[in-house]
């Protein structure tokens, strides 16, 4: 990566993150601003490093303050959705079963994708611009809540080379990963995506594949994935859909009215209220604009423009 290209990407990354600041991290169907707002995560993070986690919170504090007194409604929904199921085999966080989306760690190819997180040199860690735990991809910028027991410094954002690529492992085969064994609420936010001419009065369809590692923490399946869409990138509200499927690739999708906005933004998020081995993966973003006559136009590229 040249210095000129690196500077261009960093500037656009910071602009994108500034637009994320009003966005909520707590997932719900329709949300207003988060108080406090999430913070931008920029790398490298070396002092302190993200791994190993620093200032680990006393597990009794996490249990009493997060899991007893302030357990999010989405955590209860996630736990109920799993129905008390245990891991397929002890220690196996990803099932070795075939679904419509993939087989085990392998995610099937998807048509009409605008971001597949694949191109290696668009992950800054591969060029030395950041550390491997503070990564981003082509303008999809990391952010996290940094308040109380939710400490942004303990969340990792990384290029995943196995879960997703599966047996297609290679230099340009990746997914995006958010992880921590401490409480966190974090995500990747897209660059500002312009609404094409003729679609401002229509809708935007957004979909993404996700996988939640099934940590099987004594039945407390409290972490979850979510996807938010902001109609108007600078808006202080977003519309969310949550994902609770565990141990296998699944899909989040929703259709959101554009309401005359000139641009949109997508937020891919993970949240865990406890000290669990939480790992959430995302891949294959699809975005289509739908006009008033129900004609859809899929984006070929929703990454940062070079």
**228: three-class secondary structure by DSSP:** strand
pLDDT at 171: 83
On the question of a cis peptide bond just before residue 32, with omega within 30 degrees of 0, the verdict is no
**What integer pLDDT is reported at residue 10 of this predicted model?**
42
> H or E element: which one contains 186?
strand 184-189
For 259-276, give one letter per residue: b (16+ CB within 10 A) or e: eebebbbbbbbbbbbbbb
Whether 238 and 267 have beta carbons less than 8 Å apart is answered as: yes
CB atoms within 10 A of CB 282: 27
Q: How many CB atoms lie within 10 A of CB 177?
A: 26
Q: Is the dihedral of CA 211, 212, 215, 219 positive or negative?
A: negative
pLDDT at 8: 39
pLDDT number for residue 32: 55
Set out the domains of the chain in order of their start, with CATH numbers: 3-298 (2.60.120.260)
Residue 121 φ/ψ, nearest 5 degrees:
-80, 5
Q: What's the chain's Rg over C-alpha atoms?
A: 18
**With the C-alpha atoms ordered 127, 133, 134, 137, is the resulting torsion angle positive or negative?**
positive
* pLDDT at 31 (0 to 100): 59
Residue 189's nearest CA partner among 130, 134, 237, 230 is 230
**Residues of the chain predicted below pLDDT 70:** 1-35, 305-306
C-alpha to C-alpha distance for 140 and 97, rounded to whole angstroms: 30
The count of residues in the chain is 306
**Which of these, 243, 94, 221, lies nearest to 160 by C-alpha position?**
94
Query: b/e map of 192-213 (b: 16 or more CB within 10 Å)?
Result: bbebeeebbebbbbbbbbbbbb
CB burial class (10 A; 0-12, 13-18, 19+) of residue 68? exposed
What confidence score (pLDDT) does residue 25 get?
Answer: 42
Q: How many CB atoms lie within 10 A of CB 300?
A: 9
219-236 pLDDT per residue, tens = 799 999 999 999 999 988
Mapped onto helix, strand or coil, the DSSP state of residue 128 is coil
pTM over 0.85: yes
């Amino acid at each position: 990566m040249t210095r000129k290209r690196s500077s261009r990407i960093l500037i656009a990354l910071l602009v994108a993150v500034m637009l994320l600041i009003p966005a909520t991290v707590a997932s719900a169907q329709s949300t207003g601003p988060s108080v406090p707002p999430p913070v931008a995560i920029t790398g490298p993070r070396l002092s302190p490093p993200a791994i190993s986690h620093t200032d680990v919170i006393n597990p009794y504090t996490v249990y009493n303050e997060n899991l007893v007194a302030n357990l999010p409604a989405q955590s209860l929904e996630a736990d109920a959705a799993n129905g008390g199921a245990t891991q397929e085999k002890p220690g196996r966080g990803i099932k070795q079963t075939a679904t419509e989306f993939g087989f085990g760690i392998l995610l099937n190819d998807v048509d009409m994708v605008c971001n597949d997180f694949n191109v290696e040199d668009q992950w800054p860690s591969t060029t030395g611009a950041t550390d491997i735990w503070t990564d981003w991809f082509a303008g999809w910028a990391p952010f996290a809540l940094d308040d109380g027991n939710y400490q942004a410094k303990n969340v990792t954002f990384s290029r995943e080379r196995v879960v997703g690529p599966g047996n297609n492992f290679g230099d340009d085969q990746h997914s995006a990963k958010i992880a921590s064994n401490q409480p966190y609420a974090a995500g990747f936010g897209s660059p500002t995506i312009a609404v094409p001419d003729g679609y401002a009065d229509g809708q935007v369809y957004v979909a993404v594949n996700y996988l939640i590692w099934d940590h099987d923490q004594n039945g407390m399946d409290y972490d979850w994935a979510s996807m938010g869409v902001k109609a108007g990138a600078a808006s202080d509200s977003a519309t969310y859909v949550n994902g609770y499927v565990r141990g296998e690739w699944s899909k989040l999708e929703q259709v959101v009215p554009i309401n005359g906005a000139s641009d949109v933004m997508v937020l891919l998020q993970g949240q865990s209220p406890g000290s669990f081995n939480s790992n959430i993966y995302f891949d294959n973003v699809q975005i289509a604009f739908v006009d008033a006559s129900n004609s859809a136009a899929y984006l070929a590229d929703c990454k940062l423009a070079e």
